Amino acid sequence: MITTINDNIYLRPDVSNLAAYLYLLKNKYELHYQRIVKTVRLLAPFFKEFHLRPSAHNENFIELEWVENGEDIPYKAHRLSDGTLRFICLATAFLQPEEKQPETIFVDEP
């Protein structure tokens, strides 16, 4: 999941900008970001933190990475199960700042 780092005005319906959006939340909405991280830990106790940083090759891009408890090596998003990744997307959608939430959120077969 590589996306442009400035694609973060809202969480896209297909969550293709998840990394950029979480990066924004981490830097501008710390309380909401921490709620998302804590909620993910409830489902995935091995999860420590998202590892959000601009790409070393091009700072205009960002990729979703995460760190496991007791480790310092960031893993790519594809190392998470599909269910865990879906849960992260749903947690982000439901726990994002109120002013950034859409009027309606439809969830199709989570």
| Contacting residues for 36 by C-beta, under 8 A, at least 6 apart | 22, 25, 88, 91, 92, 95, 96
Provide the residue ranges of all domains of the chain, joining segments of one domain with +.
2-100
Alpha carbons 57 and 27: distance in angstroms, whole number: 21
**Residue 71, SS3 per DSSP:** coil
Dihedral sign, Cα of residue 101, residue 106, residue 44, residue 60: negative
pLDDT at 89 over 70: yes
pLDDT band at 110 (very low <50, low <70, confident <90, very high): low
Cβ neighbors of 34 (< 8 A, separation 6 or more) are: none
| Tens of pLDDT, residues 34-79 | 999 999 999 999 999 999 999 999 999 999 999 999 999 999 999 9
Give the pTM.
Answer: 0.93
